[in-house]
Chain A
Amino acid sequence: MESETAPAATTSPEFTPEFTARRGAFASLLLTNGLLTLLTLGIYRFWARTRLRRFLWRHVRFMGDPLEYTGTAGELFLGFLIVLAVMFPLGALYGAIDVLAPSGVRAVGVTLELAYYAAIFVLLQIGFYRMWRYRMSRTLWRGVRFGLDGSSWQYLKLATGWTILTLCTLGLAYPWMKVDLWRYQVQHTRFGDTAFDFSGSGRALLPAWLGVIVPVAIVGGLMIHIGQTAAAALGDVQAFINNAPVLFYVAAGVSILMLPFTFLHYRVRQVRVCVAGMRFGPARFHSALSYWRVLASCAVTFGLVVAAMTPAVMWLEIASAGVPVDNVAGILSSAAVPIALLFLLTLLGVPLIVGAVFGFDMARQLVTSTTVDDAQAFEAATQRVSDAPRFGEGLADALDIGGF
């Protein structure tokens, strides 16, 4: 008998979920999924996602028992077909904008464009909430289902209000928006008959968020200021750009280079605050997700992608050397192999590296950095009979949200 199947651990007050997946198995799953998705021109993605989720869910163990994903690809496919009926007219509308926008009927073009983006925003919010509802309804632990109450319209209203406020405050309200939307999501998520709760505020994220937006604001302000003085002095911005002080470029460069680091730092803080505020009855959550480990994973992924792409790019350079850049047919014929290789790398290789390195690391770190105390509350939950959605995630699929 394997020790991990024994229920002896239930007396311990604090639990860390285990992540039992191996990277090799995950990578081979990603590879077959990617190949089949490519060969079927994307239709396989519903089956691919279902296999991926079954894999990830089964490898998350809490108090000795794995999560279980019971969704099927057929449900995802059905959801896709239904949403096709909604999204196709919208896509056609977007095509019409392309046709009408430059045609001098400017007012019509602008109105259509605004209507299109408004519709996309609405569908994004609703799609996200419905996706979460579907996933929760297909997630079981010890035979008891998770679920999501609340309404996607309420979620949409909340998201709309916060988005307007965030825009009005030039982004300052962003962390409050994130935390408040998460609060709505968590408070309506339940395990069996018991709802989760959340207490926390975006204020805890303010320092990290300021670290993101203050450099941007400083450099933006600097650019405007220098641009204005230059324009006043020379009457010609172009002339100024040609003779700009080095400081200008250094400041702009540093702020652009810093952005990924500050934003990643913020995102890690956000995960920790969002996890730490969760409650399930007396059970409390804690996240020790490490910025440095996430950063290291990003760096390794980036390095591997560069290492994979560089030989192919160099090969392309060598093979097409001497052919004029505008001679497309010439380049295609003399460098067909490296071009095909680059194509394959972009479609299969890079997603595989990103998934198997960064994706795997994130799943593992998210799971294993979380601890739950007083976890016995989960054992006290009882099944609730409720209406679960019969099909799923069409909107999220069409809008490409949710990740996997």
Chain B
Amino acid sequence: MTTGTGYFNDGRSARRFRVRVDIDGADVRIAGEDGRVLARWPLADVRYADPAHHEAPVRLVAAGSDERLTLDGDGAWLLTRCPDLVPRRRVGGKSLRTWIVAGALAALSMTGVFLVLIPSAARWAVSMVPPAAEAALGVTTRDQFVGFFARLGAGVCVAPAAEKLLARTVDELAAVMESPFKIQVSVIRFPIANALALPGGQVVVLSGLLDKAENGDEIAGVLAHEIAHVVRRDPLHVAVKRAGAAALIGLVVGDVTGGFLLSGLASAAIEGGYSRDAERAADLLAVAAMNALGLTARPLADFLDARSKASPVEGVVPEFLSTHPSSERRADEIRAAAQGSRRAFSPYEWQTIRTMCR
């Protein structure tokens, strides 16, 4: 059988024309009931009107035209003669290799955006923020931080003598590093050994650090490292970078199935803290400043060694995956660069600092 019936829309009006359809050479011929030919479509141009729907009633279209032909019955007599019912160049028909290449390119460009574009844009944005604004931001951030610990029952240690001693060393270091900010150290009574730099010259020390340190020079080294972050404006850089990454991920992931949740997780995973480069740069800047002041930087290296022994977990994550270079490598680099021998605090001064939270 090479003929059939159906109805036809001519693409110019929304009327239906009852038609007889037959194959004439390499064309399908569509003729009205009066026998007048309404359209001729080359068989090679015949497509399903809806590429995903092939069931009866079969609706067909000539590629690129607005004409539609709806066949009575299953239309098999015609369909078997059309070589290209579903256009070949459709997304699902692409070869696996095309997909792999496209996926790799997409992954590469995304990596570029997150590792290069956003960090450098954030550097630029940070350079546009006047230091006075960053200093004001630093004060509020510190207050939030202190408030957070206060809710855990951990207060700020008040000890004017010790604070004065810390300020002496800190001011020396800040002056050598040409810090745009006045450095302000807050010590919080909390049993974890950690110190961190906030924007605008605010440095927070948790008192566990004072308990775990062997001597005052380790504390001086840690403070030098944090001041180096402050001077490099790393804390603000990280904040801006995170905001940028979260905004971009939110857009790419969209908000369909829990995209909001995914974007939060992903941005946390992508940028957990300072990059390894920022960490290394802070080490070098800190050691250079200590050298300039004649202070010994070796205790900082000892402290890193002791910390990495105390928390063996660090060795589990290979260095290239972790954002911090492994403590051992950092310690080696610091030892190699350290030149000074002067101690930051006398034994009596160190005793004053060590007990400031007791």
Interface residues, chain A, with chain B CB atoms under 8 Å away: 1-2, 4-5, 7, 10, 34, 37-38, 41-43, 45, 47-48, 51, 54-55, 58, 65-66, 68-69, 73-74, 84, 87-88, 91-92, 94-96, 98-100, 102-105, 140-145, 191-192, 346-348, 351, 378-383, 397-398, 400
Contacts and interface: CB of A to CB of B under 8 A. Distances in A.
Contact of B261 (A84, A94, A347): A347
Contacts of A400: 254-255
Given A34-B257, A54-B52, A100-B137, A95 B246 contact: yes
A69 B52 CA distance: 11
A142 B91 contact: no
Given A73-B91, A95-B246, A397-B254, A1 B72 contact: yes
A42 B256 contact: yes
Interface stretch (B6-14, B312-320, B335-343): B6-14
A42 to B, nearest CB: 4
Interface of B: 7, 9-16, 18, 49-50, 52-53, 56-57, 59, 61, 66-68, 70, 72-73, 91, 125, 133, 136-137, 139-141, 144, 236, 239-240, 242-244, 246-248, 250-259, 261-262, 266
A378 B15 CA distance: 8
A88 B67 contact: no
Given A7-B16, A92-B243, A95-B244, A43 B52 contact: no
B66 A96 contact: no
Given A141-B14, A143-B9, 11 more contacts: A41-B252, A42-B262, A51-B52, A54-B53, A92-B247, A94-B243, A104-B136, A105-B133, A142-B9, A348-B257, A379-B14
Given A99-B240, A103-B133, A144 B14 contact: yes
21 contacts: A2-B56, A5-B57, A65-B9, A66-B59, A68-B49, A84-B252, A88-B247, A88-B251, A92-B243, A95-B243, A99-B236, A100-B137, A103-B136, A103-B137, A142-B15, A143-B61, A144-B13, A347-B257, A379-B13, A379-B16, A381-B13
A145 B239 contact: no
Contact of B257 (A38, A54, A102): A38
- Of A87, A142, A380, A383, the most chain B CB neighbours within 10 A belong to A142
Contacts, number: 154
A22 B31 CA distance: 35
B97 to A, nearest CB: 19
Contacts of B252: 41-43, 84
A400 B250 CA distance: 11
Contacts of A5: 7, 56-57, 70, 72
Nearest to B18: A7
A2 B57 contact: yes
Contacts of B59: 66, 68
Given A7-B18, A42-B252, A347-B261, A143 B247 contact: no
A22 B343 CA distance: 81
Contacts of B256: 37, 42, 45, 48, 351
A27 to B, nearest CB: 15
B140 to A, nearest CB: 5
Q: Which of B133, B247, B261 has the most chain A CB atoms closer than 10 A to its own CB? A: B247
Nearest to B5: A1
A88 B9 contact: no
A98 B262 CA distance: 20
Contacts of B73: 1
B148 to A, nearest CB: 13
Nearest to A38: B257
Contact of B70 (A38, A45, A65, A96): A65
Most buried by A among B18, B53, B141, B254: B254
B53 to A, nearest CB: 6
Contacts of A192: 13-14
A5 B236 CA distance: 67
A48 B144 CA distance: 43
Nearest to B17: A7
B243 A144 contact: no
B243 A37 contact: no
B50 A140 contact: no
Contacts of A103: 133, 136-137, 140-141
